[in-house]
Amino acid sequence: MVDTVIENLFAALDNGVVLTGEALTGRYSHIWKTSSQLEAKAVLLPKSTEDLSTICRICYEHNQPIVLHGGLTGLVGGTESQITDIVISLQRLNQIEEVDTLCRTMTVQAGCILESIHQIAAAHDLFFPLNFGAKGSAQIGGCIATNAGGLRVKRFGMTRNLILGLEVVLANGKIINSLKKIIKNNAGYNLNQLFIGSEGTLGIITRATLKLEEKLVNRTSVFVGLSHFEDAIRLLRFCDLKFSGLLSAYEILWANTFEVLASKYKPLFGDKHRFYVLLEVLDNHSQLFKDLVFQVFEEALEKNMIQDAVFAHDAEDHALFWSIREDVEVLNAKAKFQQHFDVSVPINQMASYVEKVTFELAKVKAIEHVFCFGHLADGNLHFVVGKNTAETPLISMVNEIIYTPLKSIGGSISAEHGIGLEKKEWLSLCRSEEEMEVMLNIKNALDPKHLLNTGKIFD
């Protein structure tokens, strides 16, 4: 049967932009599902903002739903599609357009991989702080669409703090260009911020101007063993006090999580501990400062805040420490099926929340492991729940155990990954009816036919 949208797209775009039929073989919806064939009637590979505008205009005229693909590392089903959808991949929009060393900005296309942005910034003696385990695959457009967080939020903020300008294509094909290099712009509503974190439901991000920092040459990473969760909070305050703003990462791992993550490397600690903190200080000071860091941990040891501390002495140690924290796929491998969570919890409620949740999960027979870790300084916890079945009632039960307590303690069902498909039925736990109504009004104003990432965040 002839599909008019596809016909129109073929007619309007260059060869190779529209892929259908056999050309979709080997395409998938997530980097962890490479053996499951993508469901879509076509995959589009635009080469420019203008291509995207044409695509959106044609899809809008034909009420054609669109699913957006960035680096496919998202963890809430945001890139899942159906056979009736058209998938647009941003992979070809991958040019770094400009590095402005005076304004300290970089203007990039949405399909640029985060790690290549790090490398280009470093080549100009500059630094882009956004950093997390999937940096080798995640695209900057995907990071912006999800307002990604990661390892250095403590000091530099989430993606929304790192973006100065955006170019966005709306559902009807209109292009909004606000690629400015200025930090302050109070001229009316901040539209850029509206698109950041909107998970591709309000517009398609095509280009961005990123805010860069001066390169930080000294990196101190310390792995610490502790016996009480409260000590991790004390140590956080102590480090903030001593390092006056230079602490850039502060990660916590529960003992069973650390043991699995560290199992393939040589042992770091002589003894076992109940909690582990991995922290990072970035600075441009002299050796004197490095000595101060040592002294701080000696003092923490004397004050019984910590049980042990191991320092990274060279690049190899740094790589080892951060591989332990970032290579979380090892946790996935421990069970046949998993559920992933990224919740926000006020820091003073964290220990009791985790205790309660793990106690409840331990009662469920089909659950084999519960791994907990997270960005402690941001109040952000991750759980990987390993199970021996993927049955729907079990998925709902695990969701309920993890999400329900968040309402009364003022937490959030998503600290960083977003809502996508997987969390939408729980959205009302952390958003009021009034907030959801305003969100829906915004969606209706920008995408009145609900064509962009249909069914994500809202039904």
Ligand X SMILES: Cc1cc2nc3c(=O)[nH]c(=O)nc-3n(C[C@H](O)[C@H](O)[C@H](O)COP(=O)(O)OP(=O)(O)OC[C@H]3O[C@@H](n4cnc5c(N)ncnc54)[C@H](O)[C@@H]3O)c2cc1C
Residues that bind ligand X in the complex, under the rule CB under 6 A: 68-75, 78-79, 90, 110, 132-134, 138-139, 141-143, 145-146, 148-150, 199-200, 204-205, 328, 416-417, 420, 453, 456
Residue with Cβ nearer ligand X (211 or 375): 375
Question: What pairing do the DSSP bridges indicate for beta strands 175-178 and 247-254?
Answer: unpaired
Q: What is the identity of the amino acid at 370?
A: V
Q: How far is the CB of 140 from ligand X (least distance, A)?
A: 8
Phi-psi map region of 339: left, alpha, beta (phi>0 left; psi -120 to 50 alpha): beta
Q: What is the DSSP string of 51-97?
A: HHHHHHHHHHHTT--EEEESSS--SSSTT---TT-EEEE-TT---EE
Q: How far is the CB of 194 from ligand X (least distance, A)?
A: 12
Q: How far is the CB of 289 from ligand X (least distance, A)?
A: 27
Comparing every residue's Cβ against ligand X, the nearest one is: 142
Within 8 A by CB and 6+ apart from 336, the residues are 386, 387, 388, 389, 390
Q: What are phi and psi of 151, to 5 degrees?
A: -90, -15
Residue with Cβ nearer ligand X (130 or 293): 130
Q: How far is the CB of 359 from ligand X (least distance, A)?
A: 26
Residue with Cβ nearer ligand X (214 or 327): 327
Residue with Cβ nearer ligand X (338 or 399): 338
CA dist 3 → 7, 24, 84, 140 (Å): 6, 17, 11, 33
| CA separation for the pair 291, 283 (Å, rounded) | 13
Q: Report helix angle 287-302 to 229-243, nearest 10.
A: 150
Residue with Cβ nearer ligand X (150 or 165): 150
Q: How far is the CB of 68 from ligand X (least distance, A)?
A: 4
| CA separation for the pair 300, 312 (Å, rounded) | 18
Tell me the helix, strand and coil percentages in the chain, rounded to 5.
Answer: 35, 25, 40
| CA separation for the pair 138, 145 (Å, rounded) | 11
Q: How far is the CB of 299 from ligand X (least distance, A)?
A: 30
Residue with Cβ nearer ligand X (307 or 339): 339
Task: Quickly tell me which residue has 């009736």 as its tokens.
Answer: 84
Q: How far is the CB of 1 from ligand X (least distance, A)?
A: 27
Residue with Cβ nearer ligand X (145 or 402): 145
